[in-house]
Every structure is written in C-alpha cells, then in structure tokens.
C-alpha cells in the first residue's frame, strides 16, 4: 500500500489508455452536455470543432476513470479529493482518439487538523494518440498516513 510517507515530490508517472467512442460521446452529451456539436456531425461541422467532439466534462470523466485505475494498480491509500485547480481543455477530443495521462507530484502537506492523513498536489497532463495535449489540471488528493493515530 502507498501512503503519504511514500510520496516523493517530483515523482512522475505515465498511465492509462482510454479509447473514445462515438457512442459514448453522444450518450454522455445527451445526458449531461446536450450542445449540438456533441450530438450531431452536421451541427459540429458548423463550429470550431469541425466534427463531433466529446464534452470537456466527458473528457474529465474519462480521465477520472484512468486515475482511479492507476490508484488501484498502485494500491494507493487514497481518501478522495477536495477538488481540482486550473482545469484547461486545450484541444478537442474526438471519437477515435486514444487518451493517456502523465502526472508529476508537485507538493505534499500533512494535515494539521487530521493527523491520520495528508494531501498532495499533482500536475496532470492528458494526451491524445498524437501526443497532443488535450487537457491539463492540478489535482488535489487526500491520502492516509501509515500507522497514524486519530
């Protein structure tokens, strides 16, 4: 199990692989972001996107899936997240794209009020199959300390 004490600032990771499908783009958009360029090839062709594109919120959800799988694979003692900072969607994500992530741990802080845990911040970059950056964010994670008393 990976605990707060095991985290090292400057550590970099590459992880994840997510294939974006047309069906999933339309399904997500229909339910959560029903803008025409996320639902219709014809409408998307009239916009900056040029063709059907995934909602940025959908991209974030796909990234979340890769993050959780990475935490499970690394057996991280994660406790959730209080949020993210500086989320940016830099390029459209299209059906057929294959996404992957890279992260760098930029800092970690023991909790002053909760001695059993700490927090850490990571810079997360999401790439498509052409190694183009499609999304960035600064994530904040909560993680259990090893053998900490409450």
**pLDDT tens digits along 60-91:** 999 999 999 998 888 989 999 999 999 999 99
Give the C-alpha separation, 47 to 127, whole Å.
Answer: 23
- Token pair, residue 122, equals 């990571």
Strands 117-127 and 98-110: antiparallel
The H or E element that residue 87 is part of is strand 83-89
Q: Which domains does the chain carry?
A: 4-144 (3.10.129.10)
Beta-bridge partner residues of 108: 120
> What are the pLDDT digits (tens) for 83-142?
999 999 999 999 999 999 999 999 999 999 999 999 999 999 999 999 999 999 999 999
């Amino acid at each position: 199990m990976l605990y707060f004490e095991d985290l090292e600032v400057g550590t970099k990771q590459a992880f994840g692989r997510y294939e974006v499908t047309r069906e999933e783009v339309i399904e997500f958009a229909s339910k959560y972001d029903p803008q025409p360029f996320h639902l219709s090839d014809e409408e998307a062709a009239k916009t900056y996107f040029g063709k059907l594109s995934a909602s940025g919120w959908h991209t974030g959800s796909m990234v979340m899936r890769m993050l959780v799988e990475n935490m499970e694979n690394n057996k991280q003692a994660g406790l959730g997240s209080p949020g993210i900072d500086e989320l940016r969607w830099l390029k459209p994500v299209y059906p057929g794209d294959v996404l992957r992530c890279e992260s760098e741990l930029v800092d970690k802080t023991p909790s002053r009020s909760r001695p059993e845990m700490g927090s850490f911040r990571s810079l997360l970059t999401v790439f498509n199959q052409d190694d183009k950056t499609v999304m960035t964010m600064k994530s904040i994670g909560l993680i259990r300390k090893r053998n900490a008393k409450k």
